[in-house]
Amino acid sequence: MKETEMTSQEHIVAVVEPALDGETTIDFAKQVVDRGGRATVVVLLSRETVAAVTAFANAENLSYADAHEIYVERLAEDYSARFGGKHQIAFVEDRSDADRVVFGRATRDAATSVAMPQRLVNRRKWKASVARSSIPVVIAPPLAA
């Protein structure tokens, strides 16, 4: 019976881009973990994120590489604290194939759902990936102003 429970464990892939969306999808992931499931947090590194890291590098007199490493480390520590080790973190550049990378990972990892910010669904490629997905997709609304 335990083997069956392991194969049917709830697993959410939560796409987050902190510079644009805050963390609207993290609440969905946290609910899954709190119910005994697992979460994979996919941090989408957009132009806005790169700009924020560049600003941080300039303000702290660091190289971009050092600032990026600190940024990634801090996010990993933050998510580890929230999810108590029942998660994975992946970083994906927001390029033309980011939708395929995210949904490919969700399929390979046998995710039971994908949570993503509403603004991504407005993009043609992301909309097509959502429509083709055999994995249920939860669309997180934008943060209230």
Domains along the sequence of the chain with CATH: 2-128 (3.40.50)
Q: Would you write out the chain's pLDDT as a tens digit for each of its 145 residues?
A: 444 444 578 999 999 887 666 667 888 998 998 999 999 999 888 888 888 899 999 999 999 999 999 988 888 888 778 877 667 888 888 889 999 999 999 999 999 999 999 988 889 999 999 999 999 999 988 765 5
Conformation bin of residue 28: beta by default, left when phi > 0, alpha when psi is -120 to 50: alpha
Whole-model pTM over 0.75: yes
Give the separation between CA 104 and CA 41, rounded to whole angstroms.
14
The pLDDT, as a whole number, for residue 145 is 53
Give the separation between CA 100 and CA 114, rounded to whole angstroms.
13
Q: Strands, DSSP E only, in 57-110?
A: 87-93
Compute the Cα dihedral for 74, 101, 51, 124 and give only its sign: negative
